[in-house]
């Protein structure tokens, strides 16, 4: 136990504040979804590179939960779907079912070069290419893989776009 | 098998490892694979090609690892209407899934074995074989889903739990079908292939100098290993030599990839055992390493760092001092975390005796890489068949006898220490000179193989050039092919709630297996 405490002391607080002011951000989230933002991540055939950077959002540097955003296990609990990969045909059905299971506002952010445009895999017998070819997409985040901060910006952008069309109260 | 078995004529294959290529008839394929089995060779990969346009046949290739060399068997199938070859899954169980994949993609079947599809999930018709030359890779088909016949377990109180393909976390997709009594697992059957992206077909349509980029994305967590394997296969065909400085930088990048993945896994393993502090600490250490990667190599994940002819860019002037001071910080942090993990009774209770893969089973089923080493099999190509620059580095192979989650945790800790030692050697003795040599055009009609011991185990790229020197076909292989079936064994008799922990302790690639 002493080791754990000493390790915590030595590590200190690593969290960095996001570019946008935390206050504005949390107000934006509240305006759009009425509470903390729940995200469901779905790998639709990614090479797993994007998953590594999405996982990094939960590390102490980006501290996603500290900003009122958390990942959930079911699409039925999710406000926003974060999709990676060039939509392999073997995942097409699962992607559609996941999207259909979500309640409104059904925000979708396509992450990575593959999700944005099919990436190096493109369209073929095995891939449908961009996520937008299969479900409606609000925001795309390019990069291979995109850095965590870029992914975060994409999430904020989707919130802002939706928030501006929702009136408060 | 008698020891005086004489191999048919062999040729050396252009590669980073000593590889002998042997062309065999169907009868010789049988006798040679039996000999390989008697010699305790481990099957690395099995795939097929359509060469009907060139010399009127299909080919089946198999690669086996022996202690001091590698054997590449090539079997020509002249009866292209029948398109059948002697299956080897009885001798090498790891071949079973690879043979199913060859049938899905090429329409060439073993004479015995499981007839179910593996990579094909009704996303293209049963009569369409994407790797045949007369198939246009751009064709698209509607998905026509049919139920997959899982093996049923029957008996009093037995029920099934179906999990996936979408899992409750930020991980890749795959389906697990558990047959359980109470909470005890009687059987696990995996169904993979969900992330099949047609990589092998895609290789045939990409310009030669883009191949390494696709290779790096076979499994993103092993980008350096794959792109290096691509270069190790291609460079000898172009008579291009990677300069010594670039070879050292490639090795440095490969060891950083090992460090990043092991750090991430150790955090996730702590978390799965209910110790969130472990995840916070290790994910912080991993983030620090990724930021050093961005500073020194130009990217957090080195997807496009290793390129044919060398590496993409020179390291900045302060690289040596920055890296040394980073290693000096990382090492004691990991050591402190190791002692916290070792002394945490609750966590050790979850780790020990959980998900055991005993050595005889691991050997019989052909385990590879880190998982094999945690089950007492001392294998690591960096030591066994060292290529430049590993031939001058002190590679220590970490092994554990017990084969449980605790053993796989310990191997990761040992390998972090080993990698840091190699990094210090590489940084302290970085050769001068260029980091990239110009690539010349590849010679026509040559086959090259690159095999690199990545953090998960050996990854392989085999490729062949056509009469114009362009890539005619390429095949990528991930060690997850071998290790996925081992997970089905390791879970037996354990309880369902321990599955995430056991699965994470293997941390296999879905994308690498699905191709």
- Sheet with strand B42-51: strands edge to edge: B10-12, B19-24, B70-77, B57-65, B42-51
pLDDT beyond 50 at A43: yes
Higher pLDDT pick, A64 / B414: B414
Query: pLDDT band at residue B2, thresholds of 50, 70 and 90?
Result: very low
Mean pLDDT is lowest, of A125-129, B2-6, B37-41, B292-296, for: B2-6
Tell me which residue of B494, B512, B510, B513 sits closest to B502, measured CA to CA: B494
Q: Tell me the per-residue pLDDT of B136-179, one tens digit each, with 9 for 90 and over.
A: 878 999 988 899 999 999 999 999 999 999 998 899 999 999 99
Q: According to the 3-state scheme, what is the secondary structure of B41-54?
A: CEEEEEEEEEEHHH
Q: To which residue do tokens 């059905």 refer?
A: A93
B451-487 tens-digit pLDDT: 999 999 999 999 999 999 999 999 999 999 999 999 9
Share of chain B above pLDDT 70, in %: 99
CA distance B7 to chain A (A): 39
Query: Mind listing the pLDDT tens digit for each residue in B207-221?
Result: 877 999 999 999 999
Average pLDDT, chain A: 90
Mean pLDDT of chain B: 96
Q: Is the pLDDT confidence value at B3 over 60? A: no
Is the CB of residue B170 less than 8 Å away from at least one CB of chain A? yes
> B209 at the A interface (CB within 8 A)?
no
What does the pLDDT read at residue B130?
Answer: 97
pLDDT recorded at residue B508 = 98
Polymer length in residues for chain B: 515
Instruction: Report the pLDDT value the prediction gives residue A167, as an integer from 0 to 100.
Output: 44
Mean pLDDT of A108-116: 98
Residue B324 has pLDDT above 90, yes or no: yes
Instruction: Using alpha carbons, select from A130, A47, A54, A55 the residue that is nearest to residue A92.
Output: A130
Of B168, B201, B284, the CB nearest to A124: B201
Instruction: Return the residue of A nearest to B332 by Cα.
Output: A7
pLDDT band at A15 (very low <50, low <70, confident <90, very high): confident
Of A15-29, B8-22, B128-142, the range with the lowest mean pLDDT is A15-29
Mean pLDDT for the stretch of residues B76-82: 93
Record the pTM: 0.96
**Nearest CA of chain A to the CA of B339: how many Å?**
8
pLDDT category at A20 given cuts 50, 70, 90 is low
- Give the per-residue pLDDT at A164: 63
- The alpha carbon of B114 is separated from its chain's Cα centroid by a whole number of angstroms, namely 23
Taking contacts as CB-CB distances below 8 angstroms, the residues of chain A near B169 are 71, 73
Return the higher-pLDDT residue of A95 and B144.
Answer: A95
**pLDDT at residue A169, as a whole number:** 35
Which run of H or of E encompasses B458?
strand B458-465
Task: Tell me how far CA of residue B434 lies from CA of A166, B103, B237, B246, B393, in angstroms.
Answer: 57, 45, 21, 7, 21
Contacts B514 to A, Cβ<8 Å: 88, 90
Contact A53 B301 (CB under 8 A): yes
Ordered alpha helix ranges (H), B78-122? 95-106
């Amino acid at each position: 136990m002493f080791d754990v405490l000493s390790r915590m002391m030595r590590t200190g607080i690593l969290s960095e504040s996001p570019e946008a002011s935390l206050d504005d951000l949390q107000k934006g989230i509240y305006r759009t979804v009425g509470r903390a933002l729940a995200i469901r991540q779905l790998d639709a055939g990614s090479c797993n590179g994007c998953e590594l950077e999405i996982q990094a959002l939960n590390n102490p540097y980006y501290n996603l939960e500290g900003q009122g955003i958390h990942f959930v296990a079911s699409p039925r609990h999710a406000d926003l779907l974060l999709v990676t990969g060039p939509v392999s045909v073997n995942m097409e059905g699962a992607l559609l079912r996941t999207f259909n299971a979500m309640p409104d506002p059904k925000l979708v952010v396509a992450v990575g070069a593959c999700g944005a445009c099919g990436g190096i895999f493109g369209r073929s017998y095995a891939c449908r290419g961009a996520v937008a070819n299969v479900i409606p997409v609000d925001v795309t985040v390019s990069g291979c893989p995109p850095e965590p901060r870029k992914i975060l910006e994409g999430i904020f952008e989707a919130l802002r776009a939706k928030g501006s069309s929702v009136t408060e109260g | 098998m008698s020891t005086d078995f004489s191999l048919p004529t062999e040729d050396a294959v252009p590669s980073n490892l000593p590889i002998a290529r042997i062309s065999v008839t169907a009868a010789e394929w049988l006798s040679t694979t039996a000999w390989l089995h008697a010699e305790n060779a481990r099957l690395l990969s099995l795939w097929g090609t359509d060469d009907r346009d060139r010399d009127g046949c299909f080919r089946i290739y198999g690669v086996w690892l022996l202690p001091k060399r590698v054997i590449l068997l090539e079997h020509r199938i002249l009866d292209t209407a029948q398109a059948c070859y002697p299956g080897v899954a009885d001798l090498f169980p790891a071949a079973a899934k690879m043979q199913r994949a060859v049938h899905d993609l090429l329409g060439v079947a073993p004479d015995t074995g499981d007839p179910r599809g593996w990579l094909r999930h009704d996303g293209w018709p049963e009569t369409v074989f994407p790797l045949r030359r007369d198939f246009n890779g751009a064709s698209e088909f509607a998905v026509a889903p049919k139920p997959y016949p899982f093996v049923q377990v029957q008996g009093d109180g037995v029920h099934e739990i179906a999990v996936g393909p979408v899992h409750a976390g930020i991980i890749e997709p795959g389906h697990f079908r558990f047959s359980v009594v109470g909470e005890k697992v009687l059987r696990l059957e995996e169904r993979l292939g969900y992330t099949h992206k047609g990589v092998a077909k895609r290789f045939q349509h990409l310009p030669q100098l883009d191949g390494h980029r696709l290779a790096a994305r076979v499994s993103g967590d092993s980008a350096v290993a794959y792109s290096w394997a691509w270069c190790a296969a291609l460079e000898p065909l172009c008579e291009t030599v990677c300069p010594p400085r670039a070879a050292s930088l490639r090795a440095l990048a490969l060891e950083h990839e090992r460090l990043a993945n092991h750090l991430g896994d150790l955090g996730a393993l702590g978390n799965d055992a209910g110790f969130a502090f472990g995840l916070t600490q290790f994910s912080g250490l991993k983030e620090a390493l990724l930021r050093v990667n961005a500073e020194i190599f130009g990217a957090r994940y080195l997807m496009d760092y290793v390129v044919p002819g060398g590496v993409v860019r020179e390291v900045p002037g302060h690289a040596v001092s920055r890296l040394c001071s980073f290693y000096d910080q990382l090492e004691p942090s990991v050591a402190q975390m190791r002692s916290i993990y070792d002394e945490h009774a609750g966590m050790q209770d979850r780790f020990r005796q959980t998900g055991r893969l005993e050595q005889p089973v691991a050997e019989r089923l052909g385990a590879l890489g880190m998982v094999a080493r945690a089950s007492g099999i001392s294998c690591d190509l960096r030591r066994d068949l060292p290529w430049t620059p590993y031939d001058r580095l002190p590679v220590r192979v970490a092994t554990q006898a017990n084969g449980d989650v605790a053993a796989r945790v310990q191997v990761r800790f040992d390998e972090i220490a080993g990698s840091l030692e190699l990094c210090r050697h590489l940084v302290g003795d970085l050769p001068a000179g260029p980091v990239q040599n110009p690539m010349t055009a590849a010679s026509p009609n040559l086959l090259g193989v690159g095999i690199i011991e990545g953090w998960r185990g050996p990854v392989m790229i085999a490729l062949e050039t056509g009469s114009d020197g362009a890539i005619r076909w390429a095949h990528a292989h991930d060690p997850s092919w071998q290790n996925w079936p081992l997970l089905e064994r390791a879970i037996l008799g354990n309880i369902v709630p321990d599955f995430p922990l056991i699965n994470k302790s293997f941390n296999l690639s879905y994308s690498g297996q699905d191709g």
